[in-house]
Amino acid sequence: MSKEFEKNLSGNGKRIAIVVAEFNEMVTDALLRGAVDRLEALGVSSENIFVAKVPGAFEIPGVCRRLADTGSYDAIIALGAVIRGETSHYDAVVNGVTSGIASLASEGKIPVLFGVLTTDTVEQALNRAGLKAGNKGADVAQAAIQLTNLYSQIK
C-alpha cells in the first residue's frame, strides 16, 4: 500500500528567517505583517522569527544564502515588491531575485519561499499585500511551515 507524507501546519518549535526588502516599503511592511501574523497563528513563537531587512529585492538572495548556510533555521521567507511602473531596471531586478531564490530553493537543504510581488502598478501590489487579493506574505508563511514539516519527513 502506498504511503503519503502527512500535511502538517504546526509551527511549534520552528525557527523561521524572513528577508524583507525596504524598497516599496508600504507594500513590503504589509507583507511582513501578514507573514509574522500567520507564523504566530500556526504556533511559531515570536522569539523564533528572525527578520533581516535589505535595501531592495536584488539583495534578497545573498542574505538568504548566508542564512541558509548557518544551518540555524528551518525555513527562509523572502519578501519584496518589484513594480514595473516605478523602475526602468524592473527586468534586471526581477531576474536577479527570481533566479537567486530559485537556485537556493532547488538545493533542497531548507525551504526557501518566494514572496516577492512583481506587478505593473503599486495598486496591484497593495491588493496582493492584504487589500483585496489576500496577503502574499501570509500565504508564503503558511507554505513555509507546510514545507518544513514535509522536509522533516523525507529521510
- Which residue from 42, 93, 117, 138 is in contact with ligand INI, where contact means CB under 6 A? 93
8 Å CB contact between 128 and 58:
no
Instruction: Decide the pairing of beta strands 112-119 and 49-54.
Output: unpaired
Taking CB under 6 A as the rule, does residue 56 contact ligand INI?
yes
Q: How far apart are CA 85 and CA 79, in angstroms?
A: 19
Q: Has 25 been annotated as catalytic?
A: no
Does 78 bind ligand INI (CB under 6 A)? Our answer is no
* 140 sits near ligand INI (criterion: CB under 6 A): no
Q: Is there binding between residue 29 and ligand INI (CB under 6 A)?
A: no
3-state secondary structure of 13: coil
CB 80 within 8 A of CB 98: no
Count interface residues toward ligand INI (CB under 6 A). Answer: 16
Q: How far is the CB of 89 from ligand INI (least distance, A)?
A: 6
Which of 106, 144, 130, 126 shows the shortest CA–CA distance to 18? Answer: 144
CB closer to ligand INI out of 89 and 132: 89
- Decide if residue 86 touches ligand INI (CB under 6 A): yes
How far apart are the C-alpha atoms of 31 and 60, rounded to whole Å?
15
Residues labelled as active-site residues: 89
Task: Report the interface residues with ligand INI, using CB under 6 A.
Answer: 21, 23-24, 55-59, 80-83, 86-87, 89, 93
